[in-house]
Amino acid sequence: MSEKLAICGGERTIAEGVIKPWPPIDDIDREMVVASLDAHKHVFGPNDKAVQDEFAAWNGHKFVQFTNSGTSALHMCVAACNCGIGDEVIVPAWSWPSSVTCVLHNDAIPVFVDIDFDTINIDVDKIEAAVTERTKAIIVVHLHGLCVAMDKVMEVAKRHNLKVIEDCCQAHGATYKGRRAGTWGDCAGFSCNQNKLLCAGESGFFCTDDEELFNKGKAVMAFGDSPGPFDDPEYHAYAMGWKYNSNDLSAAFARAQLSKLDGYLERIQENAAVFDEGLHGVPHLILPVAPEGHWHNWYNYTIRFDLESMGRDAHDVAFRNKLLEAFAAEGVPSGAWQRFILPAMTVFRAKNAYGKGYPWAAPEAAPVDYSLEQYPVAQLHCDTHTCIVSALRPPNGPDVARLMAQGIRKVMENVEQLDA
């Protein structure tokens, strides 16, 4: 039965205020943050050390450093793996820019690989073809909370003696074949930005089981002093440092949220299952998948639109955006997570990060081709997707998931109204 869409003047599906914000804040958070504030040890305080130990135990790492962001943690990974001038690092053509700019931060050269449409992750079957004599490492991004098929990546890395860096900024708790994200490669970076499933407002973790890599990464975190400010009060700078440490207040918040993370993950699974069931059979949608062996944390629930089935061009971004406006009018929060594939972004088109063409213009570097036609799958995904970011998380429950599915179904079953 036809229903008048809210964007066309009909009744809204989800009323204002029904969907609650992320993350839930309770007395645990308030008590721990206020206690940190009152302790007057705000830099390298007791919560900094405690959150490192607790996250190491929770995710399964020998060495963890609490940082000021996931971006800084990824830069520490690149530096720890000795990726520098003239070195190439294989990266996915679709991700958040930090997954790739961390390579530029250490003067190395990103080499893009297209993604797999079903998983939205790097196409593991295309990685080996991108390896050259200059390749030093592979960065895999466990995007939207779904792990990359890591056994295949590790096989390629072993054959070519490459380091593997895991971008786990969205992958807290996600697993592949029973192993958690961040425990497969040589080192990993996690984010605790407000959007993340482990929120500290803004912070991150640099993780590894290799003590040598850990010390190299820590040197970047501080002022370039290799021992680190914990050990050497003289601060003898040997290399560039970026001041990447976090603070005790953020660590206290992270500890409070970590104590509730398992419960959050459980609720998100319930909500995502209800939402997924409500969307099955809705026309013109391509729903996300969790292949066998993968445990998806549903950081983002990503929908793609089959635009051709609606009589549109496969890359009709304007109509995709009209669909998102219609969702918003129904009270369903969603959005195009990125509107450009990474190789299309200005820094890579211009090949000029530091001026005078560097790091690509360095004498040690080889020419790299960023022709956009090499990444058709990433482009198709980019032009047809939308993401549900936090509405499927606590304190929201299955009732909210059902309402959101109803709102999306209403739009997609009456899509012809958008032509008016």
DSSP codes of every residue in 319-380: HHHHHHHHHHHTT---B-S-SS-GGGSHHHHHT-SSSTTTTTTSTTPPP----GGG-HHHHH
Whether residue 16 is predicted with pLDDT greater than 60 in this model: the reply is: yes
Residue 284 sits in the same domain as residue 146: no
Integer Cα distance of 320 and 322 in angstroms: 5
Q: Evaluate whether residue 334 is within a structural domain.
A: yes
Whether the Cβ atoms of residue 244 and residue 72 lie closer than 8 Å to each other = yes
What's the CATH code of the domain at 323?
A: 3.90.1150.10
Residue 76 sits in the same domain as residue 174: yes
Residue 37 sits in the same domain as residue 129: yes
Whether residue 197 is predicted with pLDDT greater than 90 in this model: the reply is: yes
pLDDT at residue number 219: 87
How many other CB atoms are there within 10 angstroms of residue 356's CB atom?
Answer: 7
Specify the amino acid at residue 419.
Answer: D
Residue 110 sits in the same domain as residue 221: yes
Integer Cα distance of 257 and 284 in angstroms: 38
Domain that holds residue 300: 6-21+262-338+379-419
Integer Cα distance of 64 and 205 in angstroms: 6
Residue 240 sits in the same domain as residue 212: yes
pLDDT at residue number 225: 58
pLDDT at residue number 151: 97
Q: Evaluate whether residue 383 is within a structural domain.
A: yes
Domain boundary among 203, 235, 259: 259
Q: Evaluate whether residue 361 is within a structural domain.
A: no
For the segment 34-84, what is each residue's pLDDT rounded down to a tens digit? 999 999 999 889 999 999 999 999 999 999 999 999 999 999 999 999 999
Residue 66 sits in the same domain as residue 202: yes
Domain boundary among 259, 279, 306: 259
Whether residue 378 is predicted with pLDDT greater than 90 in this model: the reply is: yes
Phi-psi region at 155: left, alpha or beta (left = phi > 0; alpha = psi -120 to 50)? alpha
How many other CB atoms are there within 10 angstroms of residue 141's CB atom?
Answer: 26
Residue 250 sits in the same domain as residue 290: no
Q: Which stretch of DSSP H or E encloses residue 90?
A: strand 88-92
Whether the Cβ atoms of residue 149 and residue 126 lie closer than 8 Å to each other = no
Residue 172 sits in the same domain as residue 314: no
Residue 45 sits in the same domain as residue 17: no
What's the CATH code of the domain at 253?
A: 3.40.640.10
pLDDT at residue number 232: 56
For the segment 134-184, what is each residue's pLDDT rounded down to a tens digit? 999 999 999 999 999 999 999 999 999 999 999 999 999 999 999 999 999
Which residues, 6+ apart, have CB-to-CB distance to 142 below 8 Å?
Answer: 121, 148, 166, 167, 168, 170, 171, 174, 181
What are the tokens at 242? 């970026």
**pTM, two decimal places:** 0.95
Residue 205 sits in the same domain as residue 114: yes
User: Mind giving me the DSSP string for 199-236?
Assistant: --SS-EEEEES-HHHHHHHHHHHTTS-TT-TTT-TT--
Integer Cα distance of 319 and 328 in angstroms: 14
Nearest to 129 by CA among 103, 156, 149, 108: 156
In angstroms, the first-to-last Cα distance of the chain is 18
pLDDT at residue number 239: 66
Nearest to 384 by CA among 327, 326, 313: 313
Q: Which stretch of DSSP H or E encloses residue 110?
A: strand 109-113
Q: Evaluate whether residue 353 is within a structural domain.
A: no
Q: Evaluate whether residue 34 is within a structural domain.
A: yes
Q: Evaluate whether residue 410 is within a structural domain.
A: yes
Peptide bond into 359 cis (omega under 30): yes
Q: Evaluate whether residue 367 is within a structural domain.
A: no
What are the tokens at 189? 């970076």
Whether residue 228 is predicted with pLDDT greater than 60 in this model: the reply is: no
Going by the DSSP 8-state scheme, the letter that residue 70 receives in this structure is H
pLDDT at residue number 130: 98
How many folded domains does the chain comprise? 2
Residue 88 sits in the same domain as residue 205: yes
Domain boundary among 210, 243, 259: 259
Integer Cα distance of 293 and 151 in angstroms: 11
For the segment 245-292, what is each residue's pLDDT rounded down to a tens digit? 999 999 999 999 999 999 999 999 999 999 999 999 999 999 999 999
Whether residue 3 is predicted with pLDDT greater than 60 in this model: the reply is: yes
Q: Evaluate whether residue 358 is within a structural domain.
A: no
Residue 242 sits in the same domain as residue 285: no
As a whole number, mean pLDDT of residues 397-405 equals 98
What percent of the chain is predicted at pLDDT more than 70?
Answer: 95
Which residues, 6+ apart, have CB-to-CB distance to 318 below 8 Å?
Answer: none
As a whole number, mean pLDDT of residues 102-124 equals 97
